[in-house]
Structure 1
Amino acid sequence: MNRAAEQDAVTPGTAGGLGARVVVRRGGFALDAALDVPAGEVVALMGPSGAGKSTLLGVLAGLTQFDEGSVVLRGRELDVDPRRRTPPSARGIVLLGQDPRLFPHLTAVENVAFGLRVRGAAKAAAAAGAAEWLRRVGLDHHGGRRPAQLSGGQQQRVALARALATAPAAILLDEPLTSLDTETAGDVRALLHRQLAQTRTTAIVATHDAVDAVALATRLVVLEDGRVTQSGPVRDVLASPATRFAAAVAGLNRVVGRVDAARWRAGGLALAASPPHAAGEAAAVFRPGDVRILDRPPGGPGEWEARVVRLEQTPAGVRVRTSDPDVAVDLPASRAAGLEPGTTLALAVDPADVRFLAV
């Protein structure tokens, strides 16, 4: 679906959820995006740095001005236009980012109780509710500690408890796990999944990590240069990425080439377009791990010559970026020894490992 058709198809606030269509212009950057999150669902929002993810969440939270559009939550118009906006404190939306933003002079239980008190709960009820939420996030024995006495993961758990204790209509998570180490992030991610599922809280999770999308969300929205470039179930988007960025998130190569006489070509790589594609552009999709280095000159099907552009570390070894066409090759560290930018390689990919997608 193209961007215009996709945005026209959006019905803000479907099924009592969160819907928006907003335009933000800031100098040379423009955000023009539509979102629809059905009630109780979790949507992952992914895009490269500078794509507009935080700007969009800021608009939804009422913290960022916009130039055109509207925001609807549970059938209630929060923002009819840029001049008629609901204040952040009255929106029923909580924004949680990388910084837990806990009050340093309050204990964990007092931090959680603060949100309940602001919403009118009596002191005793707020304290009891806060203690219960600390128990739910695994910190029932840490209520008397101040933020400085808690680890980063524990602080983020307190912030999550404070956010969910007030039963928000929607929660916006702006890369909440980025500052945590891998193990702690995994624990907090599991906690997030459990609590969002139990509370049926409508949520948007802005992230750079595909694991967050897979573990937390039912749908994935890809935002690039201020535009929604792809949207759909997480599995579908990752299986058939519509852009190079989405392919990188999915751990795939996506190489756009041209089909002529049932043969697809991009730079020095040529393949039979199977199943047959009409003449024009098509994208070849394959895994970096399916590409191998040849010890002889290329010449057979799916073989080509490429130049190394850069080397990147991966958990399993080294990812070699090559040009003409732009293809990533995953290798064990020992196999990448001696490679450097400018090195010429003979590469091969089995045509059976390549899928073709319409562009």
Structure 2
Amino acid sequence: MSGETLDAHVVVRRGVFRLDAAIAADAGEVVALMGPSGAGKSTLLAALAGLVRLAEGEIRVGDRIVDSGARRRMHVQPSARRVVLLSQDARLFPHLTAHENIAFGPRAQGIVASVADAEADEWLWRVGLDGMGRRRPAELSGGQQQRVAIARALATTPAVLLLDEPLTSLDPETGDAVRAVLQEQLASTRTTAIVATHDAVDAVALAHRMVVLEEGVVTQEGAVRDILSSPATGFAAAVAGLNRVTGRVADGRWERGGLSLGLGGQDDELREGAEAAAVFRPGAVRLERVDATTWTGTLRLTAGREAAGEWVARVVRLEQTPAGVRVHTDPPVVAVDLAPDAALGLAPGVPVQLRLAETNVRFLPVVRPASADAPAPES
């Protein structure tokens, strides 16, 4: 079995919010859909599934047009378009067993009961629930319910599978196990899938390409590796675990406020006066406290003393990480990774001096999305 191609331009209006996004996937391709809360990810998936009508645009699955904003009568019902939406809530039929839940889809498609039952047994084995077919959802853990939901969705051989943050409600260990099941089954069935997620691990483990959606428009798309290494917006940089600070090129240098950096051999790639983003890892920044108790005192103490790659800022918040502490500072918005003992004495509002070696920075041209009415988010 394998999925079909998806080619969609979705325009939906909800009050003051407007979603205007194009998304496509080749047959058997998995595309990660990422964006902050409120970006329109769930609305986009609901439109693809036929649960939300288009204001404009068109959705094509394989060689069929299943939705068109230009032709009001062109709206194939969700049950007839072979597009299955799986959310973080498994939504199993509570009165049916796991086996019956999985067999329900094939039987509804007209497959004879004996064949549907055999396929349900096969799917229970595939998702690691062999021997649990007689249990009802209430007798299964959250992770087991999600495995049944995945099996039920794939047993219908969907043309396109839409996954709306299916691992969000699971604990990390269970989520890892279910992610592995998804990865194996999407690959083995060559199912075309769109996976909406907040987690870069999902994108890396499951997807071939990524689409970043922010404020209803696509701000970046491409191979997962390319987006994580060269994020076009502050959100994409945060997903990749990178700092992204926008500035301008002037006199052969990159500048943002009091921060100035050499272009490190990228002079030919960035024209004079152009916007550019400095991208660097939180671990590349050095941080020290300033011997001043007020922001005004800090500015007086450091005035005229900052060298290239040095600036002063204030601590905004501290965040625990597996390796230590991540210190968020502003201005500009920059995260710094420290060992736990190096963060002693730091608190919101504390002035600090930061240093960044030019050799640890990459510069990317800033490209504004053509369809966006407002500037792309900055750091």
Q: Classify the TM-score, shorter chain.
A: over 0.9
**Where do 1:124-135 residues align within 5 Å?**
124-135=114-125
Q: 2:64 aligns with which of 70, 73, 76?
A: 76
Q: 1:207 aligns with which of 167, 172, 197?
A: 197
**Stretches of 4+ moved more than 4 A in 1?**
295-298
Q: 1:230 aligns with which of 195, 220, 223?
A: 220
Letter in 2 for 1:256: T
Q: Measure, in 1, the Cα distance between the counterparts of 2:164 and 2:340.
A: 34
Is 1:282–2:289 an aligned residue pair? no
Give secondary structure in 2 for the equivalent of 1:59.
Answer: helix
Contact 2:54 2:67 (8 Å CA) reproduced: no
Residue of structure 1 equivalent to 2:208: 218
Give secondary structure in 2 for the equivalent of 1:85.
Answer: coil
Contact 1:306 1:345 (8 Å CA) reproduced: yes
Residue of structure 1 equivalent to 2:140: 150
Residue of structure 1 equivalent to 2:10: 22
Residue of structure 2 equivalent to 1:101: 91
Q: Measure, in 1, the Cα distance between the counterparts of 2:221 and 2:336.
A: 27
Contact 1:50 1:225 (8 Å CA) reproduced: yes
Q: Measure, in 2, the Cα distance between the counterparts of 1:125 and 1:104.
A: 23
Letter in 2 for 1:291: V
Q: Measure, in 1, the Cα distance between the counterparts of 2:134 and 2:21.
A: 43
Q: How many residues align structurally?
A: 345
Q: Measure, in 2, the Cα distance between the counterparts of 1:106 and 1:331.
A: 52
Q: Measure, in 2, the Cα distance between the counterparts of 1:16 and 1:190.
A: 23
Residue of structure 1 equivalent to 2:171: 181
Contact 1:321 1:327 (8 Å CA) reproduced: yes
Give secondary structure in 2 for the equivalent of 1:201.
Answer: coil
**Where do 1:1-359 residues align within 5 Å?**
16-81=4-69, 82-274=72-264, 275-276=266-267, 277-280=270-273, 281-294=275-288, 299-359=306-366
Residue of structure 2 equivalent to 1:4: none
Deviation at 1:302, TM superposition (A): 1.1
Q: Measure, in 1, the Cα distance between the counterparts of 2:132 and 2:341.
A: 46
Q: Measure, in 2, the Cα distance between the counterparts of 1:322 and 1:272.
A: 22
Q: Measure, in 2, the Cα distance between the counterparts of 1:320 and 1:72.
A: 46
Q: Measure, in 1, the Cα distance between the counterparts of 2:288 and 2:318.
A: 18
Measured against aligned partners, the alpha-carbon deviations of 1:22-66 in whole angstroms (never above 9, x if no partner) come to: 111111100000011111100000000000000000000001122
Letter in 1 for 2:336: V
Give me the CA root mean square deviation. Answer: 1.4
Q: Measure, in 2, the Cα distance between the counterparts of 1:319 and 1:144.
A: 47
Letter in 2 for 1:22: V
Q: Measure, in 2, the Cα distance between the counterparts of 1:239 and 1:334.
A: 30
Give secondary structure in 1 for the equivalent of 2:308.
Answer: coil
Q: Measure, in 2, the Cα distance between the counterparts of 1:177 and 1:233.
A: 22
Contact 1:266 1:324 (8 Å CA) reproduced: no
Measured against aligned partners, the alpha-carbon deviations of 1:293-334 in whole angstroms (never above 9, x if no partner) come to: 136766333111111112223232222111121111112222
Q: Measure, in 1, the Cα distance between the counterparts of 2:103 and 2:195.
A: 24
After alignment, is 213-222 or 261-270 more displaced?
261-270
Give secondary structure in 2 for the equivalent of 1:112.
Answer: helix
Give secondary structure in 2 for the equivalent of 1:66.
Answer: coil
After alignment, is 342-351 or 270-279 more displaced?
270-279
Contact 1:117 1:126 (8 Å CA) reproduced: yes
Deviation at 1:292, TM superposition (A): 1.3
Letter in 2 for 1:290: A
Deviation at 1:69, TM superposition (A): 1.0
1:341 and 1:295, CA in 2 relative to 1: closer, same or farther beyond 3 A?
closer
Give secondary structure in 2 for the equivalent of 1:345.
Answer: strand
Give secondary structure in 1 for the equivalent of 2:180.
Answer: helix
Q: Measure, in 1, the Cα distance between the counterparts of 2:15 and 2:68.
A: 24
- TM-score, normalised by the number of residues in structure 2: 0.88
Q: Measure, in 2, the Cα distance between the counterparts of 1:333 and 1:85.
A: 57
Give secondary structure in 1 for the equivalent of 2:166.
Answer: coil
Deviation at 1:16, TM superposition (A): 4.9
Q: Measure, in 2, the Cα distance between the counterparts of 1:201 and 1:16.
A: 8
Give secondary structure in 1 for the equivalent of 2:202.
Answer: helix
Deviation at 1:267, TM superposition (A): 2.2
Q: Measure, in 2, the Cα distance between the counterparts of 1:189 and 1:48.
A: 21
- TM-score, normalised by the number of residues in structure 1: 0.93
Contact 2:34 2:213 (8 Å CA) reproduced: yes
Contact 1:63 1:88 (8 Å CA) reproduced: yes
Contact 2:34 2:211 (8 Å CA) reproduced: yes
In structure 1, the gaps of 5 or more residues are 1-14
